[in-house]
Amino acid sequence: MAKRIQFSRNGGPEVLDVQEFTPQDPGAGELQVENKAIGINYIDTYVRSGLYPAPLPSGLGTEAAGVVVKTGPGVSGFKPGDRVVYAQSALGAYSSLHNVAAEKVAQLPAAISFEQAAASFLKGLTVHYLLRQTYEIQPDETFLFHAASGGVGLIACQWAKALGAHLIGTVGSEEKAQRAKQAGAWATINYRQQNVAQRLAELTDNKKVRVVYDSVGKDTWEASLDCLQPRGLMVSFGNSSGPVTGVNLAILNQKGSLYVTRPSLNGYITRHDELVAASNELFSLIASGAIKVDVPENQKFALSDVQKAHTALESRATQGSCLLIP
């Protein structure tokens, strides 16, 4: 028997239950992966709460690293025993065994541990599409990135430094500011103590920035727009404070003929070759040490402690990535 997390109603962490189940053999084009480490991502809380609806009862999670134990009909390029990682599976990665479409799986280099991979794959692929595709950050470019001490933010700080760019990160405490700076942030803004748009203007000699990356949503929407140069780009890629709704498009005109996009990873990685290209760039940065992925011991949770894990994530008490260990 294997174990997995399921929920039968939407709500808080208390709706998550551990269940035993008999795994089915992988279907055509699928791999069965024995998960060694499972990534916990903020988007999982959106699915659990019902902000992103899923048919109930439902599994949870889309990211993990582990070992292939079986291959389904028609699979090529993978075999039992391969070390692999995935981040775009069907819901159900919070599980000791998970069947995953092979096109969503990447080979994991020996230099990268299962925990490093599960802690960084979805977040790293997200940073890749944000900084390399949605808007291509250039050397010496200054830009704003909200939640710079979060899992995505810390990878973004390191990736920006590797690109020779100047990331200004918003944070909620001095401790988080120090963590972002250690990761490579050029400057930080404490949104609890400082006016974000005003402080950013000071940091940029009133030039502001060409692009803002915002995963917070409702609470930072207008402040983000106020940080942009004329014809600048607002990249809204998350809703940790709630979704941005009821947008008056005229505000984009009033604040400088601005652009706004609401991208997602699934819009940028649609084929296996795109996944391989993005993961190769991410893995090369991790292997070289340019991006370090360290998960604190108190942010590693047993599968049976999933409720504690979600509570910690939503409390904003965590820094960087959290993991479930089956």
The two domains 2-120+269-325 and 139-263 share their CATH topology (first three levels equal): no
* Cα 300 from Cα 184, distance rounded (Å): 24
70 within 8 A of 26, measured Cβ to Cβ: yes
Q: Which CATH number fits domain 2-120+269-325: 3.90.180.10, 3.40.50.2000, 3.90.1150.10, 1.10.3720.10?
A: 3.90.180.10
First to last CA, the chain: 13
What is the CB-side half-sphere exposure of residue 66 using CA atoms within 13 A? 27
Backbone angles phi, psi at 223, to 5 degrees: -60, -40
Task: Flag whether pLDDT at 317 surpasses 80.
Answer: no
The domain spans of the chain are: 2-120+269-325, 139-263
Say how far apart CA 19 and CA 120 lie, in whole Å: 27
Task: Tell me how far apart the 2 most distant CA atoms of the chain are, in Å.
Answer: 61
Rg (CA), the chain: 20
Bridge partners of 323?
39, 300
Q: What angle do CA 16, 18, 20 make, to 5 degrees?
A: 145
Average pLDDT over residues 122-146: 97
Q: Is-contact 321 313, C-beta < 8 A?
A: no
* Burial status of residue 104 (CB atoms within 10 A of its CB: 0-12, 13-18, 19 or more): middle
CB atoms within 10 A of CB 216: 22
Of the listed ranges 3-7, 149-153, 281-285, 298-302, the least confidently predicted one is 149-153
**Residue type, position 115, single letter:** E
Contact by Cβ (8 Å): 238, 215? yes
Which token pair is 151? 């899992």
- Whether omega before 326 lies within 30 degrees of 0, making that bond cis, reads no
Nearest residue to 324 via CA among 163, 313, 315: 313
Q: 10 Å Cβ neighbour count for 140?
A: 9
What is d(CA 132, CA 24) in angstroms, rounded to the nearest whole number?
38
The CATH code of domain 139-263 reads 3.40.50.720
pLDDT per residue over 19-62, tens digit each?
A: 999 999 999 999 999 999 999 988 899 899 998 899 999 999 99
Q: What does the pLDDT read at residue 65?
A: 98
Between CA 259 and CA 252 the distance in angstroms is 7
pLDDT single digits (tens) 139-188: 999 999 999 998 899 999 999 999 999 999 999 999 999 999 999 999 99
pLDDT band at 307, cuts 50/70/90? Answer: very high
Cβ of 7: how many Cβ atoms within 10 Å? 23
Does residue 125 register a pLDDT over 80? yes
